[in-house]
C-alpha cells in the first residue's frame, strides 16, 4: 500500500473523481433542480472547479490541520498572530487607540462603498453581509460565522491563540484577552459601523456577537 503523507494527500484525496463527488454540496442554479446536470455540463462552467490551485489549497488545509505540535494549528494562525503581535506592540507604546483608528481609516474607501449600497437599498443588513459573509478576511479569521437577521455570531479567534502562545511559545505576555476586545475588536467594529452609518451592539465572548440596533 502506498504511504499517504502530507505531500501526496491532496493528489490522492482530491483528484477529479473526488472533486466531482462534492457537486451535490455546491450551490448551482435553481434550474438544475428540475433535472441533474451531469459533470460534462457543470464542470466546464463552474469557477471553483476550474481553478488551477485547488489542489494546493486542499493540501494546505490538510497540512495545517495535521500540524498539532505544540498545539493544534488552524487556518487563521498567521492572521490572528499578526494581529495580536501588532496590538501588543502598539499597546506597549501607548498607541493602541491610534492603531485601531488608522486601521478603520485605511478601510474608508471600501466602507463608503458599503455605505452607498446600504443607503441605496435602505437595507442595513447589507453592511453585515459585506463585513462578514462576503469578506474573505472575515471567513478566514473566523472559523464559522452564524448568520441571523441583523446579527452575526462567530468564535473568538484570539482567546485560544493567546493561551496557546503563552504556554508553548512564551509570547503575548503583555496583553490580555480583554485588551483585544476593548482595544481592537470593539473600537474597529464601531469605527467601521460609524463610517457606514449604522449602529451596532457588540458582545465580546468566546462566541462574539455583532448585532444591528
CB 91 within 8 A of CB 181: no
Give the pLDDT confidence score for residue 175 in this predicted structure.
95
User: ∠ CA(63), CA(67), CA(72), 5° rounding?
Assistant: 130
Residue in the structure block whose three cell numbers are 503523507: 5
Grid coordinates in use for 79? 492572521
Give the pLDDT confidence score for residue 3 in this predicted structure.
53
CB 131 within 8 A of CB 192: yes
| 3-state secondary structure string across the chain | CCCCCHHHHHHHHCCHHHHHCCHHHCCCCHHHHHCCCCHHHHHHHCCCCCCCCHHHHHHHHHHHHHCCCCCCCCCCHHHHHHHHHHHHHHHHCCCHHHHHHHHHHHCHHHHHHHHHHHHHHCCCHHHHHHHHHCCHHHHHHCCCCEEECCEEEEECCCHHHHHHHHHHHCCCCCCCHHHHHHHHHHHHHHHHHHHHCCCEEEECCCEEEEEEC
Give the pLDDT confidence score for residue 36 in this predicted structure.
57
Give the pLDDT confidence score for residue 30 in this predicted structure.
46
Give the pLDDT confidence score for residue 80 in this predicted structure.
95
Mean per-residue pLDDT pooled into runs of 10, the chain (213 residues): 50 48 47 56 80 89 92 92 96 97 97 97 96 90 94 96 94 95 97 97 96 96
Amino acid at each position: 500500500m502506498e504511504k499517504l503523507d502530507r505531500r501526496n494527500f491532496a493528489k490522492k484525496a482530491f483528484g477529479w473523481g473526488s472533486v466531482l463527488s462534492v457537486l451535490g454540496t455546491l450551490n448551482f442554479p435553481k434550474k438544475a433542480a428540475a433535472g441533474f446536470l451531469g459533470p460534462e455540463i457543470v464542470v466546464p462552467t463552474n469557477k471553483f472547479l476550474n481553478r488551477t490551485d485547488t489542489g494546493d489549497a486542499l493540501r494546505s488545509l490538510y497540512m495545517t490541520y495535521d500540524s498539532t505540535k505544540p498545539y493544534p494549528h488552524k487556518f487563521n494562525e498567521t492572521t490572528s498572530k499578526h494581529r495580536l503581535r501588532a496590538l501588543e506592540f502598539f499597546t506597549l507604546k501607548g498607541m493602541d487607540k491610534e492603531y485601531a483608528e488608522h486601521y478603520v481609516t485605511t478601510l474608508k474607501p471600501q466602507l463608503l462603498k458599503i455605505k452607498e449600497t446600504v443607503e441605496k437599498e435602505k437595507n442595513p443588513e447589507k453592511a453585515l453581509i459585506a463585513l462578514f459573509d462576503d469578506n474573505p478576511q472575515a471567513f478566514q479569521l473566523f472559523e464559522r460565522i452564524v448568520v441571523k437577521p441583523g446579527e452575526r455570531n462567530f468564535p473568538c479567534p484570539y482567546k485560544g491563540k493567546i493561551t496557546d502562545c503563552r504556554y508553548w511559545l512564551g509570547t503575548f505576555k503583555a496583553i490580555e484577552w480583554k485588551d483585544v476586545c476593548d482595544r481592537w475588536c470593539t473600537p474597529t467594529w464601531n469605527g467601521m459601523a460609524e463610517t457606514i452609518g449604522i449602529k451596532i451592539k457588540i458582545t465580546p465572548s468566546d462566541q462574539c456577537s455583532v448585532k444591528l440596533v
